[in-house]
Chains A and B, each alone.
Chain A
Amino acid sequence: MNYEERLENVAVLGAAGKMGSGIVLLVAAEMADLALRPENRSRKYVLHAVDVSQRALSGLMRYLREQARKSAEKRIVALRKTYADRSELVSNGEIIEAYINDVLDVVRPTTTLEAAAEASVIFEAAPESLDLKLKLLTVAGADNPREPWVFTNTSSIPIQEVDAKAKLGGRLMGFHFYNPPAVQKLVELIRGQTTRSEVAEFAETLAKKLRKTVVSSRDVAGFIGNGHFMRDSLYAISETARLGRERTFVEAVYMVNRVSQDFLVRPMGIFQLIDYVGLDVCQCILRVMDPRLPGQGLQSPLIDRLLALGVKGGQNHDGSQKDGFLSYKGGRPAGVYDPDRKSYTPLDSIQAACDAALGPLPEPALPWKAAVRHPAKDDALAGFFGKLEGLKTLGADLACRYGARSREIGLGLVSDGVAAAAEDVNTVLLTGFFHAYGPINDYFKAKVEK
């Protein structure tokens, strides 16, 4: 079965979720492109979009329609050529409609897991729970005569463990999209010990066809992305505890969040990022990583406590941010959660005093957006961080320590063999987390050696 034959029948499990819907969109578009080729006219391309909720599946179809339209609008020059032999399709509008219909025509929304049994390729995008994943993957297990290849979107659970427990015999591979899959360029590919080479080759080909940036990670819980993000988050939490000895918790969270964004030139502060991912998701990932990497303290009583208080983060259906460590107004942080008072303290009541305590940013300022667009980005960052080091302020000190710890985490991923090279860690943070620079850099090198 070659690439095109294998993609004739696909299933996505957890299809209507945040990750699943993006995967359905990308794969359905790739399948539609194959279906539109003259040599594939005799084939029938089918994608079973499996999810538990009919309502969510309706939402998925709406999302697919909107996204297929956007994609068609962008690709209109090429699509006119694709549809050149359809004489009835004349205007751009008609061609765009035809393309949307051709993409939707591939997708079969269903709440029946068994529909996935006839697929040759299964993408699994269920929530980050091993038990749930194993339950779903029974459909692909040893008694499925089609022996489908399975690509799990897990961001933390070791592939070999899932393969063995689900009795997939090397038909499983980690294919970790970043959120949202349709926008994010990065894909982490993770081979288990027994993953068959043809499965890995297919994954490489597909990732390339989806125009993704591929980074291979070794099969260690958390992989590269969460391997850095979780440790980075735990460091931030430990810094708030350290600061919290002299300041309130609320002030400490605000300050560490601000330092990790403005002083470290990142797209968002660390607590905003935790909220974006969701405290519940972070807890799941830590619960996967901690027992598999014992002795590293990969747990957070604070996150557990906040979740017990109902503070979750994550996004609403319309993509807006739910309150977590921080509360949000119009997508911007507006307050910090105080677990003692069980309410959010407005930022404007603490911001001025905290900012004064942190001290000024180096001049000229280098906001993240300006940094990523800077024609001489490396020099600009070197200049900014060079000046930062010279500032003997609390903010500069926190930032330099933070940058050094982030670097240490990155180097640890390389020395532990999770990443094959420093470049892979940097690529993950640059593309998957939109950082302006990789954690393994020379900006914070001196601080570690001191």
Chain B
Amino acid sequence: MNKLRRKVYMTAGCNTISMGSGRKEFHPKKPRPGLEDYIREAGGGTLKQLGGGKNVDEAVIGNFMAARFNNQGNLAALIPTIDETLLWKPCTRVEGACCSGALALMSGIKSVLAETAESVLCLGVEVQNTVKAVYGADILATAGWSRERKAGHAYFFPGKFSDRAGAYFAKHGRERSRKAMARWFCNAIENARLCPTAQEHQNSAKDLEALALSEPTPRSFVDHLNFYDCSKVSDGASAIAILSEEGLQRAGIPKNEAVEVVGWGQTEADLTKAPEDLTRLETTRRAVAQALESAGIKAGDLGTVESHDCFTIAGVLATEAVGLAKPGEGPDFILAGETSRSGRVPFNTTGGLIGWGHPTGATGVHQAVTLWEQLTGQAGGCQIPMTPERPYGLSINMGGDDKTVVAIVFRKG
């Protein structure tokens, strides 16, 4: 990758609550906020920290499937609802399934690098509780190849990752892998309990491990995953600003309240082809390798990671794709506590997709917000200690079954 022409920063992150089952305020039959409410809340929170829309040159929004969840297209035109100062400014909507949020970030980064903007408002949003899970599964399945849908599982993506888990069990042993998946779930909930906007913030289950180890029920769900192995259905939005040094100055935000984007990787696999090896996330591995290389660092330099744990098995596979564990040794790494908040490389410190929630199009932006909070010491009750020896944070946002992946390396500005 070419060297960056100028420095790129992110700051002023804002998340709405990740709303859905698990939150006490959530009632499936009562009216709830819509897309525009979430966009306004997250975007408004970021604008306020930036000193208003006058300090924004353009905006971009990531969203997966509002066209079907909410009968809404043309999402870019919802951006001016955040504040009238955004009227008439360039706005773009991007889509890459569950990677839509990070594609929005990439779009913002590239605008700043292209020097067509000094300050880009980046949003991600998804409101999915509009349909029951059984129909939501149809909508989410569009992140896979449509010609595979007929032969696919009713719950298409849980089915895909169940297959991955099954292959992983066969190759590396079930018991240890299952335990690591359970530990992943426990870590996610423990982190989410510290984060007020997390969907599992109010989770008060006493024996998380017992829940996580409950046997799958293939008759009503999938073969190798139980419900606790899966991220939930979520409504939510996140926003963050991407700026040049000039953009930061204009907003009056000091660099040490921002994170610098020091490298990234963006990779695309062929949607119509099955993964060669179900036990590995090859597209993720390549994106992370690119990101680390462009940042000039090694996996061992990472202080924290936000990984795309739509399923616990994806969390296990990510530790290997990042290069923190060798193939087949992700479970050992997790079971040794290395990914927990007190471990060597805390993963998903606000709960990740399983604990914080997975409003699909917002997730990539949410990951950036969490890393911005952690690296600038603004994570409140979720704060982990960062050391000067390993000052880097890595985010991995994945669309579909390891098809569209963006990995970004951050450092405190």
Interface residues of A (CB under 8 A from B): 73-74, 76-80, 87, 90-93, 96
A77 to chain B, nearest CB (A): 5
Question: In the complex, A336→B166 CA distance in Å?
Answer: 60
**B128-164 vs A, Cβ < 8 Å mask (1 yes, 0 no):** 0000101101100100000001100111000000000
A79 / chain B contacts, CB cutoff of 8 Å: 154
A96-B150 CB under 8 A given contacts A77-B220, A77-B221: no
Do A73 and B150 touch (CB < 8 A)? no
Question: In the complex, A79→B219 CA distance in Å?
Answer: 11
- Most chain A CB within 10 A, of B138, B154, B155, is at B154
Which of B134, B219, B221 meets A92, CB within 8 Å?
B134
Question: In the complex, A92→B137 CA distance in Å?
Answer: 8
Do A77 and B219 touch (CB < 8 A)? yes
Q: List 13 A-B contacts (CB under 8 A).
A: A73-B132, A73-B134, A77-B154, A77-B218, A80-B153, A80-B154, A87-B150, A90-B149, A90-B150, A91-B138, A91-B141, A92-B135, A92-B154
A80 / chain B contacts, CB cutoff of 8 Å: 153-154
B137 / chain A contacts, CB cutoff of 8 Å: 92
Question: In the complex, A79→B220 CA distance in Å?
Answer: 11
Do A76 and B154 touch (CB < 8 A)? yes
Please name the residue on chain A nearest to B220 by beta carbon. A77
CB-CB contacts below 8 Å: B199-244 with A: 218-221
Contact-residue bracket for chain B = 10 to 19
Question: In the complex, A96→B138 CA distance in Å?
Answer: 12
B132 / chain A contacts, CB cutoff of 8 Å: 73
A92-B138 CB under 8 A given contacts A77-B219, A77-B221, A78-B219: yes
A78 / chain B contacts, CB cutoff of 8 Å: 219
Question: Can you list the 5 inter-chain pairs with the closest CB atoms, starting with the nearest?
Answer: A91-B138, A76-B154, A73-B134, A77-B154, A90-B150
Please name the residue on chain A nearest to B218 by beta carbon. A77
B141 to chain A, nearest CB (A): 8
Question: In the complex, A80→B218 CA distance in Å?
Answer: 13
A77 / chain B contacts, CB cutoff of 8 Å: 153-155, 218-221
B151 to chain A, nearest CB (A): 8
B135 / chain A contacts, CB cutoff of 8 Å: 92-93
B218 / chain A contacts, CB cutoff of 8 Å: 77
Do B220 and A91 touch (CB < 8 A)? no
CB-CB contacts below 8 Å: B168-226 with A: 218-221
**How many A-B residue pairs lie within 8 Å, measured between CB atoms?**
30
A72 to chain B, nearest CB (A): 9
A91 / chain B contacts, CB cutoff of 8 Å: 138, 141, 149
Please name the residue on chain B nearest to A91 by beta carbon. B138
B226 to chain A, nearest CB (A): 14
Do A76 and B134 touch (CB < 8 A)? yes
Please name the residue on chain A nearest to B155 by beta carbon. A77
**20 more CB-based (< 8 A) A-B contacts, given A87-B150, A90-B149, A91-B149:** A73-B132, A73-B134, A74-B220, A76-B134, A76-B154, A77-B153, A77-B154, A77-B155, A77-B218, A77-B219, A77-B221, A78-B219, A90-B150, A91-B138, A92-B134, A92-B135, A92-B137, A93-B135, A93-B138, A96-B134
A92 / chain B contacts, CB cutoff of 8 Å: 134-135, 137-138, 154
A96 / chain B contacts, CB cutoff of 8 Å: 134
B141 / chain A contacts, CB cutoff of 8 Å: 91
A93 / chain B contacts, CB cutoff of 8 Å: 135, 138
B12 to chain A, nearest CB (A): 40
Please name the residue on chain A nearest to B146 by beta carbon. A90
B154 / chain A contacts, CB cutoff of 8 Å: 76-77, 79-80, 92
B45 to chain A, nearest CB (A): 36
A75 to chain B, nearest CB (A): 8
Question: In the complex, A78→B221 CA distance in Å?
Answer: 10
Question: In the complex, A76→B132 CA distance in Å?
Answer: 13
Question: In the complex, A87→B138 CA distance in Å?
Answer: 16
B150 / chain A contacts, CB cutoff of 8 Å: 87, 90
- Most chain B CB within 10 A, of A78, A87, A91, A92, is at A92
A258 to chain B, nearest CB (A): 30
**B64-89 vs A, Cβ < 8 Å mask (1 yes, 0 no):** 00000000000000000000000000
A74 to chain B, nearest CB (A): 7
Please name the residue on chain A nearest to B221 by beta carbon. A77
Question: In the complex, A73→B134 CA distance in Å?
Answer: 6
B130 to chain A, nearest CB (A): 14
- Most chain A CB within 10 A, of B137, B150, B219, is at B150
Question: In the complex, A77→B137 CA distance in Å?
Answer: 12
Question: In the complex, A78→B149 CA distance in Å?
Answer: 15
Question: In the complex, A92→B155 CA distance in Å?
Answer: 9
A87 / chain B contacts, CB cutoff of 8 Å: 150
Question: In the complex, A213→B150 CA distance in Å?
Answer: 36
B99 to chain A, nearest CB (A): 23
- Most chain B CB within 10 A, of A91, A93, A96, is at A91
A73 / chain B contacts, CB cutoff of 8 Å: 132, 134
Question: In the complex, A76→B138 CA distance in Å?
Answer: 12
Question: In the complex, A80→B134 CA distance in Å?
Answer: 12
Question: In the complex, A195→B304 CA distance in Å?
Answer: 74
Question: In the complex, A93→B135 CA distance in Å?
Answer: 6
Question: In the complex, A78→B153 CA distance in Å?
Answer: 10
Question: In the complex, A73→B153 CA distance in Å?
Answer: 14
Question: In the complex, A73→B131 CA distance in Å?
Answer: 12
**B234-263 vs A, Cβ < 8 Å mask (1 yes, 0 no):** 000000000000000000000000000000
Question: In the complex, A87→B151 CA distance in Å?
Answer: 10
A314 to chain B, nearest CB (A): 26
Question: In the complex, A442→B221 CA distance in Å?
Answer: 41
A211 to chain B, nearest CB (A): 13
Please name the residue on chain B nearest to A95 by beta carbon. B154
B174 to chain A, nearest CB (A): 22
Please name the residue on chain A nearest to B133 by beta carbon. A73
A85 to chain B, nearest CB (A): 10
Question: In the complex, A76→B153 CA distance in Å?
Answer: 9
Question: In the complex, A74→B138 CA distance in Å?
Answer: 15
Question: In the complex, A79→B141 CA distance in Å?
Answer: 17
A336 to chain B, nearest CB (A): 32
Please name the residue on chain B nearest to A86 by beta carbon. B150
Question: In the complex, A79→B153 CA distance in Å?
Answer: 11
Question: In the complex, A122→B137 CA distance in Å?
Answer: 40
B220 / chain A contacts, CB cutoff of 8 Å: 74, 77
Question: In the complex, A74→B217 CA distance in Å?
Answer: 13
A76 / chain B contacts, CB cutoff of 8 Å: 134, 154
Question: In the complex, A327→B150 CA distance in Å?
Answer: 53
Please name the residue on chain B nearest to A88 by beta carbon. B150
Question: In the complex, A237→B219 CA distance in Å?
Answer: 47
CB-CB contacts below 8 Å: B107-142 with A: 132, 134-135, 137-138, 141
Question: In the complex, A78→B154 CA distance in Å?
Answer: 9
Please name the residue on chain A nearest to B150 by beta carbon. A90
Question: In the complex, A92→B149 CA distance in Å?
Answer: 10
- Most chain A CB within 10 A, of B134, B135, B219, is at B134
Question: In the complex, A96→B154 CA distance in Å?
Answer: 11
Question: In the complex, A76→B154 CA distance in Å?
Answer: 6
B155 / chain A contacts, CB cutoff of 8 Å: 77
A401 to chain B, nearest CB (A): 39
Question: In the complex, A76→B137 CA distance in Å?
Answer: 11
Question: In the complex, A132→B134 CA distance in Å?
Answer: 44
Question: In the complex, A10→B130 CA distance in Å?
Answer: 39
B153 to chain A, nearest CB (A): 7
Question: In the complex, A80→B219 CA distance in Å?
Answer: 12
Question: In the complex, A77→B132 CA distance in Å?
Answer: 15
B149 / chain A contacts, CB cutoff of 8 Å: 90-91
Question: In the complex, A87→B147 CA distance in Å?
Answer: 11
A66 to chain B, nearest CB (A): 13
